[in-house]
Amino acid sequence: MNMQDYIDTIPQNLIDFFLVTVFSLLIGLSQRKIHLQVGSTKFFGSDRTFTLIGILGFILYILEPYSMRLYVGGGLLLGILLCVNYGFKLYHFKRYGITTIVTAFLTYSLAPLVSTQPMWLTLLVVVTILLITEMKETFISFAKKFNNDEFTNLAKFILIIGIVLPMLPDTPIIEGVSLTPYRIWLATVVITTISYVSYLLHKFVFPKSGIILSGILGGIYSSTATVIILAKKCKTAPEGQVQEYAVAAIAAISTMYLRVLILVSIFNQELFAKLAVFFLIMTAVCIAIATFLYFYKRGKHEVAVAQETDTKIEENPLEFRVALLFAVLFVIFTFVTKYTIEYFGTQGLSILSIVVGVTDITPFLLTLFEGGYDVSNTAIGLATFTAIISSNVSKVFFGIAFSGNRKSFTRLLLIALGFIVALNIMLLFFM
């Protein structure tokens, strides 16, 4: 008899009873741990109580599994007992929480869950209960970080993605132009989502991030804006920190390459397959340069480790004016790109790619990635890297201008970006 045959001989009720008992005990142990941490015994139940509640639910359920009258009656009696306990706790100890009571009801419901649902769902429920009951302090700490606008921001995010986008028609606005309300807002949604993730990471996961981490996260939002902010901060920074600001600027550019690669993968799979290697090479080179700069002449100037910086992008990515501005730019670049290609061909597209480098290149790149133009993916790839090269060159001038020509900063930025731009140009010949 093999193992599977042996398992098949075990009564199903025995297996269910064992699972309910173990899961109930685990929940009870988590409640016991919480009580011990608080240092009080003035709570309902413990590990044994919760285990017995689970067993009670199992017995009443299997005795009458179809009508479930016994199970429902047991649940009502348990509810009365818990209400009495809550009233006693409220009157004598002034404690208002009902987490333990809800957890007791969830434990009581394990029997039908184990008996009727797949194991993965039961395990998911039990794990979720354990995590939620254990993470009380984490939730309190997390909630303290929210200001009055955070839930409004979340509501806007849900509105933008879940309500506005599905309602828009996917029919062309103008005949001959592959521009639909759905595609316009889809592009806006993708950028807003990426920016919102960066915003949440900076605000809640790394609220006291150093200069370099601020550059990395800022690059997810906008590498150009991040370089400008870093240059402004560098203007008055101690000499020992200047090197770190330059590293942060290059780190922002490395995440910019990754961000563009993600956009390509979403909107143009064929182009993604063609450009992925080039983008990964540029990302690796940027990371290598940033690492080299971080340790460059480290002994001469001790690099200060900033505990908290003000280099984050403060503009809320979920402001509707920001989303609408991006949508407007997307529409404008769609028309400009279409008629540039129509009247001037790929040469005109190359010139346009250079010109848009002094602005935010993201709307322009998305118009290329969504396609609909009479050009090859090779031409789109060349235009993409040309726009990025132009943007990187512009960052040098922005760095010089906004840092007040802080020579120690601009020298490092010029050398690093000069190498990055040169390599980027070399890669154009391999496309």
pLDDT value for 93: 64
Question: 3-class SS at 175?
Answer: coil
**CA 192 to CA 160: how far, in whole Å?**
9
Side chain identity at residue 260, one-letter code: V
Residue type, 201: L
Query: How many residues are there in the chain?
Result: 431
- Closest by alpha carbon to 368, among 256, 272, 276? 272
Spatial separation of the C-alpha atoms in residues 285 and 250, rounded to whole Å = 10
Q: What is the pLDDT along the chain (431 residues), one digit of tens a residue?
A: 566 666 667 788 888 899 999 999 988 888 776 665 555 545 566 778 889 999 999 999 998 888 888 999 988 998 888 888 777 777 766 666 677 888 889 999 999 999 889 999 999 999 998 888 877 767 767 666 666 677 777 787 788 788 888 888 878 777 766 678 888 888 888 877 877 777 777 777 766 667 888 888 888 878 888 888 888 888 888 877 888 888 999 999 999 999 999 999 988 889 999 999 999 999 999 999 999 888 875 544 444 444 444 455 555 556 666 677 778 888 888 888 888 888 888 889 989 999 998 888 888 888 888 877 778 888 999 999 999 999 999 998 988 888 888 888 888 889 999 999 999 999 888 87
Distance CA 224, CA 361 (A): 10
Residue in the structure block whose two tokens are 């290609």:
341
How far apart CA 365 and CA 385 sit, in angstroms, is 10
Write the burial class of residue 9 (CB in 10 Å: 0-12 exposed, 13-18 middle, 19+ buried): exposed
- CA–CA dist 43, 90 (Å, integer): 11
Its sign, for the CA torsion 373, 377, 383, 385, is: positive
How high is the pLDDT of residue 39?
A: 52
**Rounded CA separation 57/79 (Å):** 13
pLDDT computed for residue 298 by the predictor: 54
In sequence order, the 6+-apart residues with CB closer than 8 A to the CB of 373 are 337, 338, 341, 380
Which residues lie below 8 Å from residue 162, measured CB to CB, with a gap of 6+? Answer: none
Q: Can you tell me the distance from the alpha carbon of 44 to that of 35, in angstroms, rounded to the nearest whole number?
A: 10
Are 224 and 394 in contact by the 8 Å Cβ rule? The answer is yes
Closest to 223 (Cα-Cα) out of 189, 185, 258? 258
